[in-house]
Amino acid sequence: MICAEDCAPPSASRCRPLSPTPLPALRASAMCSVAVSSASNFMGSMWGKSEGKAEPVSAGHRGCECSRANIAAMLKPLQPLRVPAACAALCLSLFSPLKAQDLPAEVDAALRRAKLPETALVAVVHEVGSGSQKLAWREREPVNPASVFKLVTTYAALDQWGPAWSWRTPVWVQGTVKDGVLEGKLIIKGSGDPSLVLERVWLMLRRVQQMGIREIRGDVLLDRSFFNLPVVSPKAFDDDASQPYNVRPDALMMNFKAVTYTFTPDPSRGVALVQTDPALAGVRTDETVPLAAVACDDWSAQLKPQWGEPKHMNFAGRYPQSCGERSFSMAYADPASFNARMVEAMWQQLGGRLSGQVKDSVLPPGARLLFDQVSPPLQQVVRDINKFSNNVMAEQVFLSLGQVDKPSGGITPDDAREQVRRFLASRLGEDGLKGWVVDNGSGLSRETRLTAQGLSRLLQQAWSSPVMAELMSSLPISGVDGTLRRSKAPQGRAHLKTGSLRDVAAVAGYVLSNSGRRYVVVAILNHPNAAAGRPAFDALVQWAIRDAPSR
């Protein structure tokens, strides 16, 4: 090994081996800078609400690598030394794994203010495109990452298919068409499209009519067999099936199986008008709710939605007039019937007639393809997932990865897990996967585990990959959009995926420093009081932006 010691502030301090075999001389490269600043309230109120519960993290042993070390004091330039033993000892002493007191002071202080132990945190700060690692804190400890796991899912999909890849939802007919009448069946076969929202279902049915079918004398069949999924209650995760994030994946996922309610005050009548989108066949919703002369605080709870009755949605509370017009979404109470109710109502709204039923089935023999409904490109889907932390879309992408081995369908969660595991092994190696548990694609899980070191390595590799631009541009931008839109960090300086569950808070992505260096930043808290520790993330990101030395 050759080590040299040069002081050239301001840059990251590091000591890294330059040769795989011992050499007579050792040269330790130490580049130091000193900067002092207090932590700011970086994330502000941008964090989503907590849901779920993760296991707390136990203390773990940190590995020892010379390249992880940092020097806190300015050193004078020294000439190369030819004292191998002394220089080796210097590397070991100065560049040993960080101890508790080696966390950046502002991060340590933020943890103490939140009454969180340092063992609740795992963190890595690593300069992209180099071996310079500014911080490695309990980086090998497996932790629950919450929604930060979406980075794994979306990177795997971009790597597998490329940014222009699209889902195709074929529409078939069985029977004859004459004078605008289909004597037979219309079949819609799902392929896992995450983006088949209200507008795109409307366009699909409108195109059926434009192709000469105005009346269907038969059934509309919905084929959901592309995914072979176990029956799991939407209440399984946190006992709240009304939350859209708890909707289970579906090969034919329409509008996330959610209904949006919009409330518009009409003071002259003392009520708020209720609009429902999409309309669902056979479902009645109260058209008005009483107004209340109260502050617009927790307004959706004041409405007291009576969720759980599939055929009637009503509100037992009142709507604050001071809120103006507001909207909120809820998962439909009977998700199994959502698609059929939505398609039937929309077909009729378009002026179509139907003498049969809309029901689940499989593609019958003898059907002919009418057209394919093509999704937006993958890069747009990935953007929606990461900017807004859309769990349902992430699960759709995750399961779709299983078609690599099963292109004809019948994909199970295990198929998707195996495909993602193979992707990770190809990037991190089998040893790099120690401690990892892949459960689903969204991070909405009690079981998922990863290491900060592994995720950091994955993000570094993504930076050098052909899909770097698409992955990075999908992340929320500090002070601009997504879950970072209220961030107090310098606008545009951080591209970070956030994560939040009960007992878990996380952030991971890329930060641009004052010197122009780009850093991978990974920080995850697993603790019953994790939410209180988010200011430690603020401090860590600001520390990276300043190019501050670790101590």
Amino acid at position 17, single letter = P
Residue 548, Cβ density class (10 Å: 0-12 exposed, 13-18 middle, ≥19 buried): buried
Q: Determine contact, residues 116/529, Cβ cutoff 8 Å.
A: yes
Q: What are phi and psi of 337, to 5 degrees?
A: -100, 0
Instruction: With CA atoms as reference, report the closest residue to 92 among 19, 28, 186, 178.
Output: 28
Segment 196-205 mean pLDDT: 97
pLDDT tens across 17-51, in order? 333 333 333 333 333 332 323 333 333 333 333 34
CB atoms within 10 A of CB 279: 16
Least confident of 17-26, 180-189, 249-258, 327-336: 17-26
Structure tokens at 191: 């392929």
Q: pLDDT confidence of 88, banded at 50, 70, 90?
A: very low
Tell me the range of 81-95, 292-306, 307-321, 429-443 where mean pLDDT is highest. 429-443
pLDDT tens across 269-278, in order? 999 999 999 9
Q: Determine contact, residues 436/449, Cβ cutoff 8 Å.
A: yes
Percent of the chain with pLDDT over 70: 81
Structure tokens at 336: 């199994």
Domains and CATH numbers, the chain: 66-70+96-159+403-545 (3.40.710.10), 167-375 (3.50.80.20)
Percent of the chain with pLDDT over 90: 71
Would the pLDDT of 68 be above 60? no
pLDDT tens across 465-490, in order? 999 999 999 999 988 888 888 776 77
pLDDT of residue 298: 87
